[in-house]
A and B are shown apart, each in its own frame.
Chain A
Amino acid sequence: KQEVTQIPAALSVPEGENLVLNCSFTDSAIYNLQWFRQDPGKGLTSLLLIQSSQREQTSGRLNASLDKSSGRSTLYIAASQPGDSATYLCAITQGGSEKLVFGKGMKLTVNP
């Protein structure tokens, strides 16, 4: 059974720092990996999706990498801003379906 882990559960940093968020998974047979953002009182917003054949994806200040062999993904946030404060979730699709397996998330606080 696929398990997705995100450590640490929470992170507090000053504004301007470059950040690396970690996600690990136990079964490397994945179709894709997504990073989501969840703001308080709101649903999830998809940030980046990496197909299993890809190594990374970039969107603005965000860069996500995928290493299937080691069962790891990282989300890099450049020059963090207070508006980046949210919970970030990693999710995996596998088994040839659209079913997502989520990590517990990491709560990020960027202090001005």
Chain B
Amino acid sequence: ETGVTQTPRHLVMGMTNKKSLKCEQHLGHNAMYWYKQSAKKPLELMFVYNFKEQTENNSVPSRFSPECPNSSHLFLHLHTLQPEDSALYLCASSQVFSLGGGQETQYFGPGTRLLVL
């Protein structure tokens, strides 16, 4: 058990739907991440939050909207998605996200498998 939970584990949605993915970490960390894992592509970083502030947006389309109300919770709000957005969405956390970095281990949740029809 990694201490990072994600809900739902599976989600099927139409292109006109609005849904949200939830991530919760029980590790006392201050940084949280969203990653996208598509078939046959490397894991891609989407967003980083450090102490509830967004510090990284990796040129993610605006149909993905993150929210971090506190250091333990991270959401990814989805609307008007495209079929190519179907993927496994992974959440991770670490103690901090720092520019002097490379020292922090990231702990991953099990992911939400998203299918957009």
Contact = CB atoms under 8 A, between A and B. Distances in A.
A112 B84 CA distance: 37
A103 B108 contact: no
B48 interface: yes
A99 B48 contact: yes
Contacts of A31: 101-102
A45 to B, nearest CB: 7
Contact of A4 (B41, B42, B44): B42
Interface in A1-27: 4
Given A98-B94, A98-B106, A100-B45, 19 more contacts: A31-B101, A36-B108, A41-B110, A43-B2, A43-B4, A43-B92, A45-B108, A46-B105, A51-B102, A93-B102, A94-B102, A97-B97, A97-B101, A97-B102, A101-B42, A102-B42, A102-B44, A103-B42, A104-B41
B43 interface: yes
A67 to B, nearest CB: 18
A89 B40 CA distance: 13
Complex A-B, nearest 7 residue pairs according to Cβ-Cβ distance, in ascending order: A31-B102, A43-B108, A102-B43, A44-B108, A98-B101, A93-B102, A102-B42
